[in-house]
Amino acid sequence: MPVKLKRHTITVEDYLQMFQVGILSESDKVELINGEIFSMSPVGSRHIYYVNQLNHLFHALLGNKAVVSIQNPFKLDSHSEPEPDIALLKPPKGVYKDRHAESSDILLIGEVAEPSIDYDREVKVPLYAKVGVSIVWLLDIDQGQLEVYEVPKNGQYTSKQIYFSGDVFTLEISGEEFSISVSEILE
């Protein structure tokens, strides 16, 4: 008969305190998801390239209409502090000087997935839906596609579109529409 052990989850405050007292350091590539600490996938050259592509695209397209945050943590809820590859935050940028962004600050989250594709789809995307992040991009660089999740409802996204190189779609941020060519990201 399998033994059932009680799990003890930690809060974001506990997690941050682990950094303050030296249990964890900035060199530990971890994130807090549902009260558990997970190791993050190593970042390879292709991953860096596509994160930089998204960074360049968003800066050029949006200017000051959003704060572009690269691989920074944000407080999702009391037990999760993920570090998405890219996040668009509500401006102005000065509000983030003394605090981490929170789920209510998020306009869009982007994850660049290579070895982490299943984890991103099965763990992180539903987690983002649960707190109402309105748009999540999952860039599957192995398949050469961009998955766009929108309209969170009851902890899941009700809309999922898949775009390939050559496709053009519209992104709405802060009431403005922007035309995006997937080729700009993938090539």
Tell me: the pLDDT tens digits for 80-125?
999 999 999 999 888 899 888 998 999 999 999 877 788 899 999 9
Residue 17 has pLDDT above 80, yes or no: yes
What pLDDT does residue 93 have? 87
| Secondary element (H or E) of residue 136 | strand 135-140
Cα–Cα distance list, 44 to 87, 114, 117, 186 (Å):
19, 9, 14, 16
Question: Model pTM?
Answer: 0.89
With a pLDDT cut of 90, the percent of the chain lying above it is 57
- The residues near 86 (Cβ < 8 Å, ≥ 6 apart) are 51, 54, 55, 58, 68, 69, 70, 71, 109, 110, 112
Tokens 């943590």, residue located: 73
Contact 106, 89 (CB under 8 A): yes
Quick check: 2 pLDDT over 80? no
Contacts of 52 by beta carbon, 8 Å cutoff, 6+ apart: none
Question: Is pLDDT at 183 greater than 70 in this prediction?
Answer: yes
pLDDT for 1: 67
